[in-house]
Structure 1
Amino acid sequence: MIGRIFYNRERKEDRIVSPVMAMVPLPSPLLAWPKVYHGKTAIRVSCFSNSTPEPIEARKPKVFDNLFLSLFRNKMVQETGWDSEKPGYQGLIEVAHRLTVGQDNSKTRDAAVRILKSLFPPLLLELYRMLVAPIHSGKFAALMVARVTALSCQWLMGPCAVNSVDLPNGSSLMSGVFVEKCKYLEESKCVGVCINTCKLPTQTFFKDHMGVPLLMEPNFTDYSCQFKFGILPPQQEVDDALKEPCLEICPSSVRRKEMNHNMDAPKCPKA
């Protein structure tokens, strides 16, 4: 059996622990009950069983941040055929904007999915979808990808923590990731970039290529974002995130407004 299932009656929460995790003595940040940050139930993910959970704001740059940024940017450059002269994260954001230029939204999303796929060995994705995703009705896979996302993607999104999400059956599962203030959204300043290069393609990637449903709920007021692994997203026609107006500070909106001699510019492209 790949994992054990723990059920807490009061919290109505399933918790799946792998054999390796089961060998770690309690308390462990991966097994201990979460704390609450800013009204969100969350835990700080750590690779070490004896570490103390940190506040969600306390994250410091990691050794591999620049490596991950360079890899991701190179994949985006290969897809767009263009690179920014700006270094680091600012250059990455310019390439992300370029991805939305000269093609409709569906092609932008398809390109973003290809970029995500190119970051993984094809066999790994296929094996995960076939062998891991079906375990315990998908809950084990949802728990795994939530932890990996929180550990490996903070260079892109900023500080984040694993938290509990409510499942359609009334139970809850520690398969969420709460991003307190998404760096990608804050730096891009664009609803269209968020929706078409991040939210929708990421949901598609996890569902179609890893077998894990994902709902992403960006907040365009405070720039936070809630990942909910194991939950199917709504149809695009009824997704509230796609009904948000263009941000006032969106660079694309500002440029279009300048070209139209300060007349009202159309909204940011989005689904």
Structure 2
Amino acid sequence: MAVLIQVLLPPPTTIVFSNSFSTKLILTRRLRCRISNSSEVKSDEGAPKLEYKPGPLDDFFMQSFRNKLVEEVGSDSEKPGYVGLIELVKLLLLKGRTRSETSDAAVRILKSLFPPLILELYKLLIAPIAQGKLAALMVARVTVLTCQWLMGPSKVNIIDLPNGESWDSGVFVEKCQYLEESKCVGVCINTCKLPTQTFFKDYMGVPLVMEPNFKDYSCQFKFGVAPPEDDGNVNEPCFETCSIAGRRKLKSGECPLA
């Protein structure tokens, strides 16, 4: 993917890892990515606010994702662009008879977007390095570089790990347009949060917990952190405006349990 990345190195200290293939992976302790198609602007209150400008690869990413959704759902939406994409996601949720079925289908879609060999090599060669730190830092940056068309403005940030360490392997989504457009907690939980966590852990060897905020639509990704056994987000009630609950003739609070 021809994406422009400018890496700043403050401080210039580096850690060098060697593997059996005699290659060198250089990890800068505090990597900061400057992304050519995202920037910060000042809001009315004076606080920095992220702004995302679609790049030339965004249409490709969206169409690829949409094609995989069509294959899984079995039909396409007549609506163009992002609106049509969200309609397909809702159909995916409606198609699944259980939460597990929906999550498994979403994982299949994520897997199909990557050549299998890349996932296997990443899990085998990159994930074990430095107790998983390198892999977590890398996927955080790739997520920001390739997924803002889906989620909206986002940036890499520092997160705290359960062992007391702090890694800059987080991704903060200021206002997730996937959730905002779908207006459905069930869509967020069953087609995004749960399958994405499963995909990164099982197929890339990177633990991930996603913490959506259903009040302001923000979301915090924490690469390198495993989900808690009792994840309260999973059983959040849905919005009053949830269209899927209406189509299934359910109460709004039942939608996430699809």
- TM-score > 0.5, shorter chain as reference: yes
Query: Whole-Å Cα distance in 1 between the matches of residues 232 and 39 of structure 2?
Result: 33
Quote the offset at 1:130 in angstroms.
0.4
Give the Cα separation in 1 of the matches to 2:69 and 2:214: 24
Is the aligned partner of 1:161 residue 2:141?
no
In structure 1, the residue matched to 2:86 is: 93
Alignment of 1:25-40 (within 5 A): 31=31
Q: Does 1:252 align with 2:244?
A: yes
Contact between 2:140 and 2:171, CA under 8 Å: does it hold in 1?
A: yes
Cα distance in 1 for residues equivalent to 2:221 and 2:189: 14
2:34 corresponds in structure 1 to 46
Q: Which amino acid aligns with 2:40?
A: E
Question: Identity of counterpart residues, as a percentage?
Answer: 62
Q: Deviations over 1:204-253 (max 9, x none)?
A: 00000000000000001100000000000012xx1010121111111112
Q: 2:223 is aligned with what amino acid?
A: F
Question: Which amino acid is 2:90 matched to?
Answer: H
Q: 2:233 aligns with which of 217, 222, 241?
A: 241
Q: 3-state SS of the aligned residue for 2:256? A: coil
- Deviation of 1:47 (Å): 5.4
One of 41, 50, 59 as aligned partner of 1:66: 59
CA distance 1:125–1:22, shift in 2 (3 Å): closer
How big is each residue's C-alpha offset from its partner over 1:154-200, in whole Å with a ceiling of 9 and x where there is no partner? 00000000000001111100000000000100001001111000000
| Matched residue, 1:144 | 138
Residue 266 (structure 1) shift: 5.6
2:117 matches 1:123: yes
User: What are the ranges of 5 or more consecutive residues in structure 2 without an aligned counterpart?
Assistant: 1-8, 18-23, 42-48
Instruction: Show the counterpart of 1:205.
Output: 199
Kindly indicate whether the alpha-carbon contact (under 8 Å) linking 1:15 and 1:174 is maintained by their aligned counterparts in 2.
Answer: no
| Cα offsets for 1:126-147 (capped at 9, x unmatched) | 0000000000000000000000
Q: Which amino acid aligns with 1:46?
A: R
Aligned residue identity for 1:108: T
Give the conservation status (yes or no) of the 8 Å contact 2:206–2:223: yes
- Pair 53,71 (structure 1): closer, same or farther in 2 beyond 3 Å: closer
Q: SS in structure 1 opposite 2:257?
A: coil
Q: Does 1:57 align with 2:50?
A: yes
| RMSD value, Cα | 2.8
Find the residue that maps to 1:269 and give its secondary structure. helix
Aligned pair in 2 of structure 1 residues 17, 201: CA closer, same or farther (>3 Å)? farther
Match of 2:173 among 143, 162, 179: 179
| Pair 1:215 & 2:209 matched | yes
Aligned residues of 2:209 and 2:226 also touching (Cα < 8 A): yes
Which of 199, 218, 221 is residue 224 of structure 1 equivalent to? 218
Q: Call closer, same or farther: CA 1:52–1:228 in 2, change over 3 Å.
A: closer
* Gap regions ≥5 residues in structure 1: 1-5, 9-13, 24-29, 33-44
Give 1 or 2: higher strand fraction: 2
Aligned length: 234
- The answer as to whether partners of 1:190 and 1:247 remain within 8 angstroms in 2 is yes
TM-score, scaled relative to structure 1: 0.79
